[in-house]
């Protein structure tokens, strides 16, 4: 549709086609990132389940090494021994209660700014 509009008008609409294409690409990338980002964390016994729209990851609570926030990116980062870094949306309900329960299950976990 953007290409047809650019071809129907003059060559001055070509830059608008490029700008519109970049906005379209940015929107598709944002949709992909939202689907990959964890939006719910559930504790089952002594394991933690990270849920996103695309997948679910379950790991033992003792595998979590560090929990922190990224000041520039605006998300929480859970550094694990086996799964690397898991990025979580910072607007989780009950996050404080979750961190208390995580500290009870894994006293060695570090909480701070990464």
Under-50 pLDDT residues of the chain: none
Is 98:92 a contact under the CB 8 Å cutoff?
yes
- Rounded distance between C-alpha atoms, residue 93 and residue 54, angstroms: 20
Assign 38 to helix, strand or coil. strand
> What is the model's pTM?
0.70
Architecture of the CATH domain 38-113: Roll (2.30)
pLDDT given at position 9: 65
Give me the torsion for CA of 90, 92, 93, 95, rounded to 10°. Answer: -70
* Nearest residue to 78 (alpha-carbon basis) of 52, 101, 99: 99
């Amino acid at each position: 549709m953007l290409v047809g509009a650019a071809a129907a008008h003059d060559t001055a609409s070509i830059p608008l086609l490029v700008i519109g294409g970049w906005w379209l690409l940015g929107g598709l990338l944002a949709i992909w990132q939202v689907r990959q980002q964890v939006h719910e964390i559930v504790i089952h016994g002594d394991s933690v389940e990270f849920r996103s729209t695309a997948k679910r990851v379950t790991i033992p609570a003792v595998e979590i090494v560090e929990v922190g926030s990224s000041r520039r990116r605006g998300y929480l980062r859970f550094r694990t021994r086996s799964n690397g870094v898991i990025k979580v949306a910072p607007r989780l309900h009950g996050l404080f209660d979750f961190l208390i329960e995580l500290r009870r299950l894994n006293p060695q976990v570090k909480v701070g700014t990464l």
